[in-house]
Amino acid sequence: MKISVNFADRYVHVDGEARKVILPKHDPNWTAIQYDSGHKFTGVEVKRGAAFSFQGDAKAMVEPYLKAWKAAAIPPSRAPTSGSPSRGAREM
């Protein structure tokens, strides 16, 4: 699984699918996170200073952003089809 977080535009990409999310609290110096489970790498790009890798459980570090991505999924439309009344509506 590959996860990218772009803090400036509030997008999280998971395996290539981008969704605008409500970001969890994070360090305001962070600009992006890159995570690749195949390489066990998670790195953080920053505004000031050198980029760095997370120490410890990288999956746990990106889990809040994965949850935000899942929460941003758009549910299927339940709009009525053209020409048919909405449930509970009466035709006039």
Of 51 and 82, more confident = 51
Nearest to 78 by CA among 67, 70, 86: 86
Q: pLDDT category, 79, cuts 50, 70, 90?
A: very low
pLDDT tens string 1-41? 999 999 999 999 999 999 999 999 999 999 999 999 887 77
Of 91 and 28, more confident = 28
**Secondary structure element (H or E) that encloses residue 11, with its range:** strand 11-14
Entry pTM: 0.75
Domain ranges of the chain: 2-71
Tell me the C-alpha distance between 12 and 8, whole Å.
Answer: 11
Tell me the one-letter amino acid at 55: Q
